[in-house]
Amino acid sequence: IVMLVLVNTVLVGISEETMFRGVLFSGVRRVMRIWPAIIVVTLVFGVVHVLNALFTGNLLAAALQALAATMSGLLFMAVRIRSGSLYPAMILHALWDFSLLTIVRSASAQAEGQSLNEVAANIPWYQQLVPVLVVLPLLLHAMYLLRKVGRDAEPG
């Protein structure tokens, strides 16, 4: 199971970074200044995660996941911009997802054979805020990394 999760998270890290911080960011960047492009791509990345409600049936959990994804997505964007490469963002994204899925899977296994959806359905709403709080330092670090982006004059 761990190997399956590892392969899955590596593929997700590669594909999502290619789609969002690669293709979408490059395209949006052609028509927008840097900060509007960062905001648009980061918000789209977060909003896409709301679609997980279609699989889980839990809109609150999907909305909180979308918020956490938006916050972590800003860090992935900062890493992509600061490094000038998608590879570090891909690696960070894969490691982040692997860590989260391993923790969630472990908690699910301890819940007496319940599925992930059943476990999520039994978590009080205020405890579902924990992932957002865990991602908060990533958001703050992203803001630190991006603090000088766009200060130089750039073409319109």
pLDDT, tens digit (0-9, with 9 covering 90-100), for 75-87? 999 999 999 999 9
pTM: 0.82
d(Cα 48, Cα 66) in Å, to the nearest integer? 7
The encoded tokens of residue 137 equal: 């330092």
Residue 99 tokens read as 């860590």
- Binning pLDDT at 50, 70 and 90, where does residue 155 land? very low
Position 119 scores a pLDDT of: 61
The pLDDT of 46-67, averaged and rounded, is: 87
More confident residue, 39 or 133: 39
91-102: average pLDDT = 90
Nearest to 102 by CA among 86, 88, 116: 116
